[in-house]
Structures are given as structure tokens and as C-alpha cells.
Amino acid sequence: MRPQAPIARRALTVVGMQELGAYRVLRLADPDGPAPAPGQFSMLAAVQRWGGGEDERPHVPRAFSIARWQEGEDGMEAHYLLEDVGPGTQRLCELRAGEEVWVLGPLGQGFTPPDEGRRALLVGGGVGIAPLAILQDLLLQHSGTPATSTGAEGRRDLAAPTGVALLGFRDGAHAEGAALLQNVRIATDDGAVGHHGLVTDLLARELDEDPEAVVYACGPAPMLEAVRAMCAEREVPARLALESGMACGFGACFGCVVPTKDGYLRVCVEGPVIDAARLAHVDAHAGAPA
């Protein structure tokens, strides 16, 4: 059974807020929260002044993938990777240590591990790399093999047993987010770091060499759609962590739907991770901020 959230949202203390290139990493002390499955998310809102930003927003909480779950100084900590794209993320990005955040989570359906013996290929785009970090942590932990920790691009490391991560970014500042993962290969739109082009170019190469891999992807809708199409063509299983505008995160509002082959699906309860085979295409609104 998936980890469930307590219905009472928790006011958690910010224990850290670090810059990571174009992103920020928010660390919340969560001593009593349930351990999340990779791919699950939380609904976050600043306890103070959630509202009063641009256009008198935000009002409802915002969804963020749990990027990491680890022992901190006083019990467990959840890490979130934030990109400031509007009033909600802006408010969260300005929080300082000691301030509080309402957290409802862990929510949603996370990633399921690859079948025994198959290699996981993580494919992330932009801030969509967040759920891949916790997934990689878990994969590495299960395999018992620490990944080679260099993030140098171009060095093809087929030997890595698990958790190799192909990450696409807009530019160099965003590519710094790759530090969240290990054993990464990077592609950038402007060629500043790694492969000059799309992360799906890297994915094609990997799949050429290991057609038995299982793909785990999160990122902007066009990227997810390219991953879906490529995996469908090659008959590679793919699990996509979708995103969608959400109001509640627990299935109450029916606002977060994406179209699937058999009708609309609520990303927050039936997702965010779903099997790519269920989608005819990835809806333009179903991805991470581009």
C-alpha cells in the first residue's frame, strides 16, 4: 500500500534553503511524517502570508515532488527542489530557516521499482528532476552499489548498475540542479553543459545499448511526450511522473485531470506517476514548468 498522508496538514519548520543554480533546495524538518515513496509529492503553503503576491495570489497550496527523504539533525528531513515560476513558488523561495510551511503529504502514487534485473533509466527535464533524486537514492540503496559520483557528461558509464540519470536543462544555471543526483548525463538546450540538444537524444543512445531498460521520466510536457513516443515505439516500459494544476492534491477538486486512453485521470490520486502505456499522448498541461 502506498504511504498515506495524515489528514491533518503539518506546520513544518524550514531548516534550510540553499541555492542550486537556477533552483533552490528547501529542507523541512519532518520528524513525525510518514516516509514517502519515490514519486510522491506534498502540497506546500507558507504558514504566514500565503497570498498577497502577484495578482493577490497564491491562494491554494502548491504541489512539489519530494526530492529527498533523509536523516537530518533532528530526525527526518524532506527536501524539495523549487523553481520560482510564479507567486506560489516565489513565496516559498523567500522563506528562511525557522519559518514554517504547511505540508500535506506524502500524496499520490509513486514509482514502482523495475523488475528484477532490469536497469532503471531516469530521464528528467528541468525542475522535473526532483522525484528522480529520491528514486535514485532508493535504487542505489536497494542495489547496495553507490553510483559513481561524478556528474561529468559525455563519460558513458554503462557499468553503473542502476540509477543512471539523463537530465535536460535550458542552460548552465539550470544544469547546476543536476548536483541533486549522481551518475548523471546532461543535455542543455544552449549547449552550455553536456550534450547540445535534447535529453531524449541521450535516451535514444541508452536504449540502443540497453533495450531492456525501464524508463522513469519527469519533466516538461514536450519532453514527456517525446519519451512516451520513443518508449512506445521501442516497446520499452516507461513510468511518467506527470504534473498538472492542482487545488487540493487529494482527489477532492477534480481539477488536476489529464486525458488518458480511457478517460480523464486525476493526477493527484491516480498519479502523479502513471504507466506511459495508458496515455495516447502527454497533454500539453501535464508536464513540469518548462
Partner 1 sequence: MSVDFCGLELSHPIINASGTFDLLAADTAFGASLRAEFPFAAFVSKTITLAPRAGNPPPRLWESPAGLVNSIGLPNKGLAGYLAHDLPALSSLLAEVDAPLITNVMGATAAEIARLLEVCQAQMQIAAVELNVSCPNVKTGLDIGADPKQLEAVVREVRSRLAKPLIVKLTPNTADVATCAAAAEAGGADAVSLINTLRAMALAPAGHSESPWLGGGTGGLSGPAIRPVALAQVAAVASRVSIPVVGMGGVQSARHAQDLLDVGATLVAVGTQSFRDPLAGRRVALGLAAAGPKSPVSLRASL
Ligand X SMILES: Cc1cc2nc3c(=O)[nH]c(=O)nc-3n(C[C@H](O)[C@H](O)[C@H](O)COP(=O)(O)OP(=O)(O)OC[C@H]3O[C@@H](n4cnc5c(N)ncnc54)[C@H](O)[C@@H]3O)c2cc1C
What residues make contact with partner 1 under the rule CB under 8 A? 4-9, 45, 51, 55-61, 102, 104, 107, 244-259, 263-264, 266, 269, 283, 285
Only segment of 12-20, 49-57, 111-119, 243-251 that touches its own copies (CB under 8 A):
49-57
Q: How many residues bind ligand FES (CB under 6 A)?
A: 12
DSSP 11-42: EEEEEEEEEETTEEEEEEE-TTSPPPPTT-EE
Whole-number minimum distance, CB 82 to ligand X, in Å? 5
Pick the closer one to its own copies by CB: 60 or 229: 60
d(CA 72, CA 69): 9
Question: 119 with 47: CB under 8 angstroms?
Answer: no
Pick what 259 binds: partner 1, its own copies, ligand FMN, none; C-beta below 5 to 8 Å, kind-dependent: partner 1
HSE (side-chain half, CA atoms, 13 Å) at 45: 20
* Site membership for its own copies, residue 52 (CB under 8 A): yes
Pick the closer one to its own copies by CB: 49 or 196: 49
Binding site for ligand X (CB under 6 A): 41, 58, 62-65, 80-83, 85-90, 127, 130, 243-246, 272, 288-289
Phi-psi region of 55 (alpha: psi -120 to 50; beta: other; left: phi over 0): left
Pick the closer one to ligand X by CB: 55 or 233: 55
The alpha carbon of residue 121 and the mean position of all alpha carbons in its chain are separated, in whole angstroms, by 14
* Site membership for its own copies, residue 49 (CB under 8 A): yes
Q: Name which of 221, 215, 212 is nearest 243 in CA terms.
A: 221
Q: Cβ of 142: how many Cβ atoms within 10 Å?
A: 11
Q: Which one of residues 35, 97, 158, 252 is an interface residue with ligand FES (CB under 6 A)?
A: 252
Whole-number minimum distance, CB 99 to its own copies, in Å? 12
Cell 495578482 appears where? 55
* Site membership for ligand FES, residue 265 (CB under 6 A): no
Whole-number minimum distance, CB 240 to ligand FMN, in Å? 25
Q: Which of residues 61-120 bind its own copies (CB under 8 A)?
A: 91
Pick what 211 binds: partner 1, its own copies, ligand FES, none; C-beta below 5 to 8 Å, kind-dependent: none
C-alpha cell at 187: 543535455
Pick what 122 binds: its own copies, ligand FES, ligand FMN, none; C-beta below 5 to 8 Å, kind-dependent: none
Q: How many helices (H) and strands (E) does the chain have?
A: 5, 16
d(CA 12, CA 15): 9
Neighbour order of strands in the sheet with 100-107: 62-65, 41-46, 100-107, 10-20, 23-29, 75-82, 68-72
Counting every residue written for the chain, the total comes to 290
- Please give the single-letter amino acid code of residue 14: V
* Site membership for its own copies, residue 235 (CB under 8 A): no
Pick what 49 binds: ligand FES, ligand X, partner 1, none; C-beta below 5 to 8 Å, kind-dependent: none
Pick the closer one to ligand FES by CB: 206 or 270: 270
Binding site for its own copies (CB under 8 A): 49-53, 56, 59, 91
Binding site for ligand FES (CB under 6 A): 246-249, 251-256, 266, 268
